Chains A and B, each alone.
Chain A
């Protein structure tokens, strides 16, 4: 015996008041009357005396208890014998954005999948259903082995908004969940690249339709002062798409009375993308929309203000005149850098050797000049694109820390454990500041400092992109997004797995919001609907329990038992009509 819906057994709780009422009635103080026949026509059981009367009550109690048990069994979907064997079906639904594309009839692929899944559950007579959604990180929508109605309900509320991904990990997981029965049904919108790659126990059902589509493939916003610059890239996937009308609406920002709306007609190239850049003054959120087409989701984005966060750089006292001039010349042209006062407010402090500046510039001790060869720590981000050929580098005593650039036995650049960087260079005797390596090196320094800043280095990301985040040690961080809340482990630069859904993701430190980033529902691979199609590939391997079921739905016999018990109880406790009493 098994139960399809064990919660139905809660109906057995009705036995408690039933039995309680029985005993309460038994304890009820009887009222003695002179002539019972005047109260009603004597029934056979009443004439039979109190012993039979008591028996009648107990029989009535038993019948009522039987009715309650029958009702509970019906609600719990009791199953006997063959019908009690659980038939497990694992459904895997493609969670990518293209599943939200509409067919020519206006019905989304996901909606078709819901219908097909319901049919499949019924045809397989599944008693247990597990629903998985494929994605960069597969997730379980219902189950494992949930009641079919609950599983289908979970599928109803599911929205496919994920990035392009490989479904194989999800299918492998589904096979493990299916166990020996091996019933895995995969619903997607694209036929497999090769049938041989489809796992043998998976039935691959594609319900997509190849359709043209125009999509935004990227959208960025940058705010400098009161000016917001929105950069859009638009692509057309399909034949006959020549141009598209892009509507950009800037909502009024703080202090602005009204927003701005711009409509631009963009010519679509045959291949590649068209770029559109617009600027707004005093704009709040910027809404971008394309005309409705097969996939609505990739034609709409909302870009909240993303003000630039210049990094505060300060020069410590004690720098040599040459060093200070070289640094100031770089800072003057470097973007997103703000000159600030020294002290704790500066995010990047540049100073002479011997100070606690994050970056020291200068050489102490006996100077030595090198023309090369220079040996660099390959792959270190500080040395990206730093070319030292033709450089004359005069260095002093070796600084502490791990050497990053060296010449001979001299350490030209070193990095300490805590991240402090020492540029062992005497700029008065060197030409480093006059070659391109100097601004590149300092840009890398600034970039390093920016990357070490708490929060999201990027405010707008596309679907499927890993989510970079910088955390400080000693604090507890949580990433809060649409329908998700997960802790962030690690300190410093952390790359989180791509979010499964678009939306706003907030980084919280000990419960307080630190920074927010937008994950846009844009993925060029998902917007390209030309390769979609429909196919139904049966599983190459049949399961161990694939015999068709002869019955579906709830067993009816508890209902029959319930009605029989109620009728018997009614017969037992029936009463003569009140107006047919005797004399």
Chain B
């Protein structure tokens, strides 16, 4: 993991926050909950139990009915970074490093924005850390889970409502993708699926003959990597990506495909651009 590259990028970046209200601690961003901010959000009729301080007495005078001013809370939205800890993420050192760098960059940029990043590593031993500890956990994170992200999520602490949720994974597993995306999007104002893929995932190099072994399950398959077999793989991979992208869209999320071979800078300015914007533009 190139921590220096991440550090160089952090000052110039900010997370692209959604325009919809967030949920989080008291902060500067409008929340979905009613609060005491100065900005008026709505009016509604009084209901027993409402704070009488919010009654718009001018309206009462005009209409004779008890009308309440609805003001939004101003919150500091949480950012959750979920890192897939399955073994397929360490298919190559570059893939593992890229996943760590994307997760770290997200956390660092969020922290710099004051968005209280939370890192969840969905490995064999799930971890959940916040704040500055994210870097150390990422550096020590081992991609050792023998199952995919859907199973790893079951071992993680419950995902909390948050502003932005970034899931870093290769998403190369057989699962109910719409259900998974809905689950990841639940409670989040924005969902970004950062799909880190190795060059071999994108374009297998083939060979004379091979015994293919699944990196997670260890299941083996005798297969001659002929042109036909490689073409069939490419066809199935495209179908998988299409299904994943559709599932993400239905969950109002975004799928960002990050080739691990690309540098972090090119990723930020390329595939990850929907997640990162230049500082000050948010």
Shortest distance between the CB of B91 and any CB in chain A (Å): 5
Which residue of the partner chain, among B173, B220, B233, contacts A50 with CB atoms under 8 Å? Answer: B220
Let me know if B237 and A38 touch, CB within 8 A.
yes
| Contact status B228-A578, CB under 8 Å | yes
Q: Does A261 sit at the interface, judged by CB under 8 A?
A: no
A31 and B232 form a contact (CB under 8 A): no
Are the C-beta atoms of A578 and B243 separated by less than 8 Å?
A: no
Q: Is B51 an interface residue (CB 8 A)?
A: no
For B211, the closest partner residue in chain A by CB is A30
- Listed residue (B207, B214, B233) with the most chain A CB atoms within 10 angstroms of its CB: B214
Residue of B nearest to A46 (CB): B219
B203 close to A (CB within 8 Å): no
Cβ of A49 within 8 Å of any chain B Cβ, yes or no, is yes
Given the interface pairs A40-B221, A42-B219, A46-B220, the reply to whether A581 lies near B211 with Cβ below 8 Å is: no
Partner of B213, one of A32, A42, A48: A32
**In the complex where A49-B217, A583-B239 touch, is A31 in contact with B91 (Cβ < 8 A)?**
no
Which residue of A37, A39, A50 is within 8 Å of B218 (Cβ)?
A: A50
Contact B239 A33 (CB under 8 A): no
- Residue interface mask B161-188, A partner, CB < 8 A = 1: 0000000001011100100000000000
Is A484 located at the chain interface by the 8 A CB criterion? no
Select one of A25, A29, A33, A38 contacting B240, CB under 8 A: A38
Chain A CB count within 10 A is highest, among B207, B220, B228, for: B220
A42 nearest CB neighbor, chain B only: B219
- Contact assessment for B215 and A582 in the assembled complex, using a CB-CB cutoff below 8 Å: no
Shortest CB distance A29–B (Å): 8
Whether B239 and A50, one on each chain, are in contact in the complex, defined by CB atoms closer than 8 angstroms, is no
Q: Mark B216-236, 1 if CB is under 8 A from A, else 0.
A: 011111110100110011001
Question: What 0/1 pattern do residues 44 to 67 of A give for CB contact below 8 A with B?
Answer: 001111100100000000000000
Instruction: Check A473 for interface membership: any CB of B closer than 8 A.
Output: no
CB pair B172 A38 closer than 8 Å: yes
A197 smallest CB distance to B (angstroms): 74
For the complex, what is the distance from the CA of A48 to the CA of B217, rounded to whole Å? Answer: 9
Q: Contact at B210–A28, with CB atoms within 8 Å?
A: yes
In the complex with contacts A28-B210, A40-B221, A46-B221, A34-B88 CB distance below 8 A? yes
Residues of B within 8 A of A583 (CB): 174, 177, 236, 239-240, 243
A579 interface hit (Cβ, 8 Å):
yes
Taken together as a complex, chains A and B put the C-alpha atoms of A42 and B173 apart, in Å, by 12
Which residues of chain B from 212 to 269 have a CB within 8 Å of any chain A CB?
212-215, 217-223, 225, 228-229, 232-233, 236-237, 239-240, 243
Q: Say yes or no: is A36 at the interface (Cβ < 8 Å to chain B).
A: yes
Interchain CB contact (< 8 A) of B214 among A35, A48, A579, A581: A35
Q: Least Cβ distance of A216 to chain B in Å?
A: 74
Residues of A within 8 A of B221 (CB): 36, 39-40, 46
Decide yes or no whether B80 CB sits under 8 A from chain A.
no
Are the C-beta atoms of B223 and A40 separated by less than 8 Å?
Answer: yes
In the complex, A36 Cα to B177 Cα: how many Å? 17
Residues of B with C-beta under 8 A to A33: 91, 200, 204, 212-215
B56 touches A (CB below 8 Å): no
Residues in A with CB closer than 8 Å to B233 are 38-39
Among B91, B209, B233: residue with most chain A CB under 10 A: B233
Please tell me which one of the listed residues A39, A47, A53, A579 contacts residue B223 in the complex, with CB atoms under 8 A apart.
A39
Q: Which residues 23-76 in B have Cβ within 8 Å of A in the complex?
A: none
Are B232 and A578 in contact (CB-based, < 8 A)?
Answer: yes
Which residue of the partner chain B has the closest CB to A38?
B236
B198 at the binding interface (Cβ < 8 Å) = yes
**Do A36 and B219 have beta carbons less than 8 Å apart?**
yes
A217 CB to nearest chain B CB (Å) = 77
Q: Which residues of the other chain, B, contact A40 by a CB distance below 8 angstroms?
A: 221, 223, 232
Taking a contact as CB atoms under 8 Å apart, the answer to whether A34 and B223 are in contact is no
A37-B215 Cα distance, complex, nearest whole Å: 11
Count chain A CB atoms within 10 A of each CB in B172, B200, B209, B219 and give the residue with the most: B219
What residues of A have a CB within 8 angstroms of the CB of B200 in the complex?
33-34
Number of A-B contacts (CB under 8 A): 98
The reply to whether the CB of B201 lies closer than 8 angstroms to some CB of chain A is yes
Residue of A nearest to B213 (CB): A30
Cβ of B215 and Cβ of A32 under 8 Å apart? yes
Complex Cα gap A35–B197 (Å) = 11
The reply to whether A581 and B236 form a contact with Cβ atoms under 8 Å apart is yes
- Report yes or no: A36 in contact with B212, Cβ–Cβ below 8 A: yes
Name the residue on B nearest A41 (C-beta).
B236
Give the CA-CA distance A37 to B200 in the complex, in Å: 15
CB-based contact B201/A34 at 8 Å: yes
Instruction: Considering the complex, give the chain A residue whose CB is closest to the CB of B209.
Output: A28
Type the 1/0 row for B189-201, where 1 means its CB is closer than 8 Å to any CB of A.
0000000001011
A33 and chain B: residue at smallest CB distance: B212
- Contact at A581–B232, with CB atoms within 8 Å? yes
Whether B240 contacts A34 by the Cβ 8 Å rule is: no
Closest CB in chain B relative to A56 CB, distance in Å: 10
Residues of A with C-beta under 8 A to B218: 49-50
B220 touches A30 (CB 8 A): yes
Q: How far is the CB of B239 from chain A (nearest CB, A)?
A: 6
CA distance A554 to B232 in the complex (A): 47
Interface residues of A in 2-52 (CB under 8 A from B): 25, 28-40, 42, 46-50
**Chain B residue contacts of A34, Cβ below 8 A:** 88, 91, 170, 172, 198, 200-201, 215
Complex Cα spacing A572 to B222, Å? 13
CA distance A581 to B210 in the complex (A): 18
Residue among B198, B204, B214, B237 making CB contact with A36, cutoff 8 Å: B214
Nearest residue (CB) in A for B204 is A33
Given the complex, which residues of A lie within 8 Å of B204, measured CB to CB?
33
* Chain B residue, CB-CB nearest to A35: B172
Q: In the bound complex, do residue A579 and residue B88 qualify as a contact, i.e. CB atoms below 8 Å apart?
A: no
CA–CA, A30 and B218, complex, Å: 11
Chain B residues, Cβ within 8 Å of A581: 232, 236
Interface residues of A in 522-546 (CB under 8 A from B): none
Query: A30 contacts which chain B residues (CB < 8 A)?
Result: 210-213, 220
Judging by beta carbons under 8 Å apart, are A53 and B174 in contact?
A: no
Most buried by B among A25, A28, A38: A38
Is there contact, CB below 8 Å, between B220 and A53?
yes
Q: How far is the CB of A57 from chain B (nearest CB, A)?
A: 8
Residue among B207, B217, B240 making CB contact with A31, cutoff 8 Å: B207
| Contact assessment for B229 and A32 in the assembled complex, using a CB-CB cutoff below 8 Å | no
Q: Which of A109-124 contact B (CB under 8 A)?
A: none
Q: Determine which of A29, A36, A578, A582 lies in contact with B217 in the assembled complex, contact meaning CB atoms within 8 Å.
A: A36
Select the residue from A34, A50, A53 with max chain B CB neighbours within 10 A. Answer: A34
Query: Which chain A residues border B210 with CB–CB below 8 Å?
Result: 28, 30-31
- Complex Cα–Cα for A34 and B199 (A): 11
Pairs across A and B, CB under 8 Å, 26 listed: A25-B211, A28-B209, A28-B210, A30-B212, A32-B212, A32-B213, A33-B91, A33-B200, A33-B212, A33-B213, A33-B215, A34-B91, A35-B214, A36-B212, A38-B172, A39-B232, A46-B219, A49-B217, A49-B218, A50-B220, A578-B229, A578-B232, A579-B232, A581-B236, A582-B174, A582-B236
Residues of A in contact with B (beta carbons under 8 Å apart): 25, 28-40, 42, 46-50, 53, 578-579, 581-583
The 9 closest A-B pairs by CB, nearest first: A36-B214, A35-B172, A34-B88, A31-B210, A30-B213, A30-B211, A34-B172, A46-B219, A38-B236
Query: A35-B172, A38-B172, A583-B240 given. 8 additional CB < 8 A pairs?
Result: A28-B209, A28-B211, A33-B213, A35-B201, A38-B237, A38-B240, A39-B232, A583-B174
